[in-house]
């Protein structure tokens, strides 16, 4: 009821704001006409529009210089929660910020040393994803979700040109959520400072960023009674007993720290070609590039508790105080050379070659001891572009010396743009050979400890994708052949020994096959839209992969302009997946695992209602999520014993400033 009242208040404020904006437009229109007449013979020295607020990123600058205009639309603006992305859904512990795992099969293609902790990865800022801005005037954005609702998400962005060739900026993120059940609080404090310098000759570029992540997720060990949704007099979530209940200094939690610094310097040698010279859309295409990337990154994973395990949240043991810490320090240096062969007439054929060498120094530490590792990797890319119709690229990355010697990723992609009416075809293939992540071979924590050796995991992938923007269609078919796939499972316990309950161990499978078909189709009739996504997965080891056979997402909405002031969309989203053997979660290890119970929870369509709008430079959304809880079902699970979010209302706003 509190959420519904808040939603009605926000909706009333939104209508008032729209009416005021419309009235102001009417009131001042005549005065503005007179002012324009007086200014007809004058010319503004600077015109500020979103066209002049642009950004680039690391991946783009590896091939040349190109910038992109900031997004001022409100498409999917209501999808603020990283757990609930339509094209990448998740299973999780039931509230924003808690442990999360992909619902669909998405293999990790990274090679080399990896810690293996991924439960909070969706909430991290990475140095590779930084946007480096270029703007005529100071650009800033304020973003907030929540106010009088449970989730409080805040973001502030500021970018300023020191001079036409040097931009500096910063971002700050702060989140506080209460959750629904006891001990589901989450908070984070994240920040980035970044800088982009380009020499007047356009040959030298320098990128720098400093990224800080502090994530704090409270653990409740799941609920004690997992049949609450069968009770017609179901208690309120905050009244439901959880297995871990300590507060304050003894609150059980998982904390992550992930801090990094990154510096890239590049120089263009030889001829450089310019497109749209002097315009905001200007592009620089070099013929030779030399670059050096250096970075340092420190990751820390902490689990803490200080209470007796009365209700069996952990494996057998009598530890009351647990304070486990694992940390990884990585220093990387990457040297690159790129060569581009093309005629002076841009848009014709182009060949490209990129070669690189990377050195990683890794210091790993846990509660037992520490280790030092080193990896040396060669990588390269060979590509050929035929006009703007055909593009082929082949990439290779292999560790030639070091701890993860033999790891490799070979990948090829071919794109053929047939025509605007017929569409585009994309063919892809990759071969992956990667070492086990560290948690599979070494774990030293209070309830779990092992030292094992596993074979490398190999994945062979083939894919075919067809896109037709005119028809609003995107279809992709993928085949995966996997050997030595690694996962976690509960220790076999045929005699139901209570001392083995909830104890997990790493396991390695034999040969697995998976076929994945993803279909997107968007329909439009006048101002009505229906966007659809259907994913079909079929494997000979669905229980090992713990993923559903079918996932669907549908969005039906109406879009229009209100008073020629507010561009809005109002509609509903529905998502659904078929039942599958739902995993459990090992709290102290920070890992999802396949348990011996192998329960398939019932699944239901989940319905969200929403409104998004744009008023000048302000984006707004109002949503009411899991609305069908008031009809059916009372609740549902995606992880064993962890109920998912209850029905909730959310409000968010973003305001951009660039003049």
Angle at 645 between CA 642 and CA 649, to 5 degrees: 170
Do residues 35 and 127 both lie within one domain? no
Q: What is the C-alpha separation between 125 and 260, in angstroms, rounded?
A: 10
State which of 30, 45, 60 marks the end of a domain. 45
Closest CA to 317 of 498, 584, 505: 498
CB 89 within 8 A of CB 104: yes
Structural domain boundaries, residue 6: 1-45
CA-CA distance, 428 to 535, in Å (whole number)? 18
pLDDT of residue 457: 98
- CB-based contact 253:301 (threshold 8 Å): no
Q: Residue 609 is part of a domain; what is its CATH number?
A: 2.40.170.20
278: left (phi over 0), alpha (psi -120 to 50) or beta: left
Tell me how crowded residue 172 is: count the other CB atoms within 10 A of its CB. Answer: 15
Taking the CA of residue 187 as centre, how many other CA atoms within 13 Å lie in the half-sphere pointing to its CB?
4
Do 60 and 5 reside in the same domain of the chain? no
Residue 422 DSSP one-character state: T
Predicted confidence at residue 376, as pLDDT, reads 98
Peptide bond into 633 cis (omega under 30): yes
Q: Are residues 82 and 223 in the same domain?
A: yes
| Nearest in space to 572 (alpha carbons), one of 521, 624, 525 | 624
b (16+ CB within 10 A) / e for 395-411? bbbbbeebbbeebbbeb
544 and 485 in contact (C-beta within 8 Å)?
yes
Tell me: do 58 and 19 sit in the same domain.
Answer: no
Spatial distance between the Cα atoms of 126 and 57, rounded to a whole number of angstroms: 12
Q: 246-268, pLDDT tens digit by residue?
A: 999 999 999 999 999 999 999 99
**Per-residue model confidence (pLDDT) at position 23:** 44
Read off the pLDDT of residues 596-610 as tens digits, 9 standing for 90 and up.
999 999 999 999 999
Residue 148: its pLDDT value, please? 67
Same structural domain for residues 361 and 296? yes
Total number of domains in the chain: 2
| Three-state SS at 120 | coil
Assess whether 83 and 29 both reside in one domain.
Answer: no
Q: Which residues of 8-31 are buried (b: 16+ CB within 10 A; e: fewer)?
A: eebeeebeebbeebeeeeeeeeee
Token reading at 453: 């050796």
Whether residue 247 sits in one domain with residue 327: yes
Q: How far is CA 297 from CA 108, 126, 419, in A?
A: 20, 10, 45
492 and 527 housed in the same domain: yes
- 386 forms beta bridges with 390
Q: What is the DSSP letter of 136?
A: S
80 and 22 both lie in a single domain = no
Q: Are 426 and 413 in contact (CB under 8 A)?
A: yes
Give the residues of the chain that fall short of pLDDT 70: 1-48, 148-149, 345-348
What span, in angstroms and rounded, lies between the C-alpha atoms of 18 and 12? 10
- Are 624 and 533 found together in one domain? yes
**Are 319 and 432 in a shared domain?**
yes
Q: In terms of domains, do 93 and 11 share one? A: no
pLDDT at res. 347: 61
């Amino acid at each position: 009821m509190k959420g519904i009242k808040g939603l009605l208040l926000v909706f009333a404020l939104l209508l008032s704001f729209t009416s005021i904006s419309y009235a102001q437009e009417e009131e001042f229109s005549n005065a503005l006409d007179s002012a324009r007449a007086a200014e007809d013979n004058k010319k503004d020295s600077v015109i500020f529009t979103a066209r002049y607020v642009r950004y680039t990123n690391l991946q783009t600058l590896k091939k040349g210089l190109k910038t992109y205009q900031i997004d001022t639309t409100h498409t999917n603006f209501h999808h603020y929660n990283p757990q609930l992305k339509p094209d990448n859904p998740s299973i999780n512990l039931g509230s924003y910020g808690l442990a999360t795992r992909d619902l669909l099969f998405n293999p990790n293609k990274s090679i080399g040393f990896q810690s293996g902790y991924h439960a909070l990865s969706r909430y991290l800022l990475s140095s590779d994803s930084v946007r480096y801005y270029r703007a005529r005037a100071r650009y800033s954005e304020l973003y907030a979700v929540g106010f009088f609702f449970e989730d409080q998400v805040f973001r502030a962005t500021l970018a300023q040109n020191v001079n036409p060739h040097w931009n500096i900026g910063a971002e700050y993120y702060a989140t506080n959520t209460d959750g629904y059940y006891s001990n589901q609080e989450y908070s984070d404090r994240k920040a980035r400072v970044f800088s982009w310098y380009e020499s007047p000759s356009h040959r030298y570029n320098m990128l720098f960023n400093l990224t800080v992540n502090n994530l704090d997720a409270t653990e409740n060990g799941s609920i004690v009674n997992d049949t609450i949704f069968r009770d017609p007099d179901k208690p309120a979530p905050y009244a439901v007993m959880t297995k871990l209940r300590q507060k304050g200094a003894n609150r059980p939690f998982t904390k992550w720290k992930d801090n990094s610094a990154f510096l890239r310097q590049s120089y263009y040698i030889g001829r450089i070609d310019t497109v749209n010279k002097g315009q905001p859309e200007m592009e620089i295409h070099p013929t030779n590039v030399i670059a050096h990337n250096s970075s340092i990154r420190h990751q820390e994973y902490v689990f803490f508790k200080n209470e007796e395990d009365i209700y069996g949240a952990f494996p057998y043991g009598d530890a009351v105080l647990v304070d486990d810490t694992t940390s990884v320090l990585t220093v990387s240096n990457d040297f690159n050379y790129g060569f581009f062969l093309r005629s002076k007439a841009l848009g014709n054929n182009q060949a490209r070659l990129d070669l690189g060498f990377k050195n990683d120094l890794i210091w790993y530490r846990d509660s037992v001891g520490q280790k030092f590792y080193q990896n040396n990797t060669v990588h390269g890319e060979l590509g050929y572009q035929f006009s703007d119709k055909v593009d082929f690229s082949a990439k290779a990355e292999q560790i030639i010396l070091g701890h993860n010697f033999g790891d490799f990723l070979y990948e090829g992609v071919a794109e053929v743009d047939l025509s605007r009416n017929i569409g585009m075809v994309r063919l892809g293939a990759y071969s992956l050979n990667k070492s086990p992540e560290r948690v599979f071979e070494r774990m030293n924590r209070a309830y779990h400890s092992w030292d094992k050796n596993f074979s490398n995991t190999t994945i062979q992938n083939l894919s075919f994708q067809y896109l037709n923007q005119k028809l609003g269609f995107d279809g992709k078919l993928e085949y995966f052949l996997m050997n030595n796939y690694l996962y976690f499972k509960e220790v076999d316990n045929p005699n139901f020994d209570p001392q083995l309950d909830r104890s997990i161990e790493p396991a390695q499978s034999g040969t697995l096959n998976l076929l994945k078909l993803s279909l997107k189709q968007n329909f439009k009739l006048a101002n009505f839209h229906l966007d659809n996504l259907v994913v079909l997965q079929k494997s000979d080891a669905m229980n090992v992969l713990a993923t559903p056979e079918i996932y669907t997402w549908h969005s039906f909405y109406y879009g229009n302009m209100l008073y020629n002031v507010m561009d809005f969309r109002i509609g509903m989203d529905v998502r659904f997946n078929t039942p599958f053997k739902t995993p459990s979660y090992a709290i102290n290890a920070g890992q999802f695992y396949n348990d011996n119970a192998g329960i398939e929870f019932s699944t239901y369509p989940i319905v969200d209602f929403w409104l998004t709008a744009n008023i000048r430079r302000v984006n707004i959304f109002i949503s009411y999520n899991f609305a069908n809880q008031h009809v059916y079902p009372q609740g549902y699970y995606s992880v064993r014993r962890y109920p998912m979010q209850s029905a909730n209302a959310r409000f968010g706003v973003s305001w951009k400033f660039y003049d």
